[in-house]
Structure 1
């Protein structure tokens, strides 16, 4: 008996057929991969399964009975739980309160039993590799730990179906293995899992079956082991793999126009910040891509934010084209030629309620204004230029950015940055959460920008992407530089060895 079935379901939005007679079946105890490019219909299908959207055609069946979930709460009560890529818990509440939100343990008098809640929360989270004071605010935890709390909460509601949307995007390798252990336990308990990820290694390690969507249509479903990776990607993209520039979609193409004796366009010296950064130093020459390597919590994002003026600096210098910016604000950094793409594009980058045009124009309005007036013609020209160059797929420049796929949202953010005509581009996880096709396009664009002489700083949790995309890699651990990889030493093995060696030195010093 199938646990969850979607039968010939369609969903139509104005001008877009997001799902076109799609069928999908999840068996009890099955880990089922749901894959496709951004815009393929994965998110829409998940929202139909969880009661966010009502289908315009077709049928939903749950445990062999017709089902209709009017709200996400209806789906949750039935036993369908979802873990989203962006943690959807309450950061200002404690870890324990988030875990038990809506089902807090009570005393015999109906009062909140905090001691029991704290005790049970600690016991539950240990199974998910989270050892922390459950009384602390959730928002103070690393993103990976927050994701594991969200997973624990999802499983706690006596779920029969767990939908995981890019669950490893914020996790360290150790946390990924913990997650896989949890998935195997759920598998053994007969719980069905829908697993959405763009990381092929993960899919082949943990999933039994796969369903592939493209342009809102079902193009393949079956055992994952029967499908070679090249076939999987070809089906996702709807074109031959040779049309994409990089096998595996983790590298960059071309050679950067770096001149070995060129003066640095960006020079960071002895940067210290609030006990998070310790004497961080590195430089970037025009046309060079410098990677920042290290595990989550190593200080990569803090370094990016500090350079971009979004993180307070206690001491050190930041120079652009030889000019010391002192302790720049975000506005001063932009004026100096620094453009920052943040790790969380939804919270810190795009404005989902505004149009593509408005999002791209945001950063250039001061430059285009004259006596407080802005030329619509100039804005339209800039928007057309970057929509074309970055191949942003939207019905028009007036379409809401929040309605675009993740990959196109990322391109809109990049378009806004490039419209400021920067000298240095700081990219924090530029390909996180986007499909393989969009990832290849973004990576190719970064390579093109570097070849034109732009200095680029690249942060990526994907070691292969970082190694293949960077000319040099500066390795961080606990907010300090612990090594630099150059020339033939820019390899995944050397990166991991540098991180591991730094860990051994740190342990020795702490003895």
Structure 2
């Protein structure tokens, strides 16, 4: 399938999102679509599948002018879209999620569960993924849910698959398996539109790249004809001198110490500490227990044993409000379901954890709240026309910045960042890294959980590696290499 999109324009109210974008996709190619958050990448693809109507422009598919009324019509024509934000029905089984709207029935109209299970297992085997088909999808990890979405798209026998940040929640092994699947699909003539902020993936798997900035097409090139620095420069319109800003830590007193932290079935006898002005990175394979440790530390999930000590004093954290009272902020890996109220405005989301800072005797000072929110919007360079914009209308990267702002605003002693740059473009990543540096310079202790090894290596002062619910080892900045981290993460010494 060949697709050409010419001079595409789109506005939402007074907000112009696309201004004459050109994009073409050839049969059997993997075409990267890159740009900063808010550049218009997802909007362009949503226009292709009929989720949004274009204001101007022409779409040609195999030489014929074609416009879809809705995504279902696009899917029937062979175009599938794996969205960045997962479309999982948590109370339904994995099997039901894979076949929703495409259920298989026998001649009597009864569900052919056996046949569906066989077809589903075939696709999961193709991805080398093990998923509990008859368990609730909501019980699966974020990474497993991402694999459900990928399997669902492959089951449509699509000729074009749009992948929006498909590896954001995957382990390195799962990413490599996905790449194998993509290469196999290419040989079958399937075309892939690959939207990602992970530059290494673009150069590893893609044939061509189209770069967007501020709703316009900047350039389209064959991958061998460009490089990392050129792509970044065209994306952000400026030079980024260093991918990771330099750090000069001078750790102070111990902010947090945990002893024997245990949650049966998830992690056991966990011991670590974090000091003022320090970034401690947590690394490990998916399912190792990193996120579960942080959730229990913040009071989201119960602990079965262990001791938490804040600034030398034992504390009991049974729920998140206890953690906040002790100066702990938690930026969750799942911003859509746990980090934001999508129907609330940016202002309302930022204010939720900070009401005490601009209220007096139960009354909120609107002026103080406005100053607080405007300052954070400006500081984190959140792209929005107004603080009253609903958080759900922001790009993924800008949503992440709102979550970060919400917790930075409480003035935390300890900030836990779980996948802080997932789905965030290269320019915004650097802004987050710089903010982390500024916070540590002010004495904030930071725990950063990340699946991106370059990020862990680039920003951590110490690295704690987790394997099967236990601390496998701790590495200094000098000792830390990808090989050493992966050795510990896989149970080696």
- Structure 1 pair 389/105, CA: closer, same or farther in 2 (3 Å)? closer
Secondary structure of the structure 1 residue equivalent to 2:353: helix
Kept in 1, the 8 Å contact 2:460–2:477? The answer is no
The 5 Å alignment of 1:223-372 reads 223-242=222-241, 246=242, 249=243, 251-259=244-252, 262=253, 264-372=254-362
Any idea what SS the aligned residue of 2:2 has?
A: strand
1:142 shift after superposition: 2.7
Partner in structure 1 of residue 26 of structure 2: 27
Between 427-436 and 127-136, report the one with greater CA deviation: 127-136
1:478 match: 468
SS at match of 2:333: coil
Aligned equivalents of 2:99, 2:389: Cα separation in 1: 39
Equivalences for residues 460-475 of structure 1 within 5 A: 460-475=450-465
CA deviation vs aligned residue, 1:446-475 (integer Å, no higher than 9, x gap)? 011011100100111111111221111111
1:86 is displaced (CA, Å) by: 2.5
Cα distance between partner residues in 2 of 1:254 and 1:123: 48
Could you report, residue by residue, the CA deviation over 1:188-246 in whole angstroms, capped at 9, with x for unpaired residues?
A: 1111110011111111111111111000001101211111221111111111233xxx2
Instruction: Give the superposition deviation at 1:332.
Output: 0.8
Structure 1 residue ranges without an equivalent (≥5)? 506-511
Structure 1 residue 87: Cα displacement: 2.2
Tell me the equivalent position of 2:436: 446
**In structure 2, the residue corresponding to 1:265 is in which secondary structure?**
strand
Structure 1 counterpart SS, 2:203: helix
Match of 1:182 in 2: 181
Q: Counterpart of 2:72?
A: 73
Following TM superposition, by how much is the alpha carbon of 1:147 offset from its aligned partner in structure 2, in angstroms? 1.8
Measure how far apart 1:390 and its partner are.
2.2
CA contact 1:274–1:312 (8 Å) conserved in 2: no
Name the stretch that deviates more: 455-464 or 489-498. 489-498
* Kept in 2: contact 1:313–1:327 (CA 8 A): no
CA deviations over 1:258-295 (Å, ceiling 9, x no partner): 13xx2x11111110113201011111111111111111
Partner of 2:176: helix, strand, or coil? helix
CA distance in 2: counterparts of 1:304 and 1:133, whole angstroms: 25
Q: 1:241 to 1:471 in 2, by over 3 A?
A: closer
Look up the match of 1:61: 60
The 8 Å contact of residues 257 and 453 in structure 1, kept in 2 or not, is answered as: no
- State the 1:367 CA deviation: 4.7
Mapped contact 2:123–2:154 kept (Cα < 8 A): no
* Distance in 1 between residues matched to 2:221 and 2:371, nearest whole Å: 47
Confirm or deny: 8 A CA contact 1:253 1:444 kept in the other structure: no
Distance 2:350 2:148 in 1: 35
Higher alpha-carbon deviation: 131-140 or 308-317: 131-140
Deviates more, 1:50-59 or 1:324-333: 324-333
Q: Is the 8 A contact 2:131 2:144 kept in 1?
A: no
**Counterparts of 1:100 and 1:398, CA distance in 2:** 38
Q: Shift of residue 486 of structure 1?
A: 1.8
CA contact (8 A) 2:355 2:364 kept: yes
Q: Is the 8 A contact 1:257 1:450 kept in 2?
A: no
**Following TM superposition, by how much is the alpha carbon of 1:487 offset from its aligned partner in structure 2, in angstroms?**
4.3
Q: Which runs of 4+ in 1 moved over 3 A?
A: 366-371
Tell me which residue corresponds to 1:219: 218
| Inter-partner Cα distance in structure 2 for 1:200 and 1:402 | 26
* Separation in structure 1 between the aligned mates of residue 375 and residue 105 of structure 2, nearest angstrom: 60
1:426 maps to which of 405, 416, 423: 416
Residue number in structure 2 paired with 1:401 = 391
Per-residue displacement from partner, 1:43-96 (whole Å, max 9, x unpaired)?
A: 110110111110000111122211111211121111110112222122222222
Give distance in 2, aligned partners of 1:232 and 1:61. Answer: 27
Per-residue deviation, 1:345? 1.1
Report the Cα distance in structure 1 between the residues aligned to 2:477 and 2:152, rounded to whole angstroms. 46
* Secondary structure in structure 2 of the residue aligned to 1:476: strand
Structure 2 distance, partners of 1:486, 1:478, is 21
TM-score, scaled relative to structure 1: 0.93
Judge conservation of contact 1:320–1:337 (CA < 8 Å) in 2.
no
Measure the CA separation in 2 of the matches of 1:215 and 1:415.
23
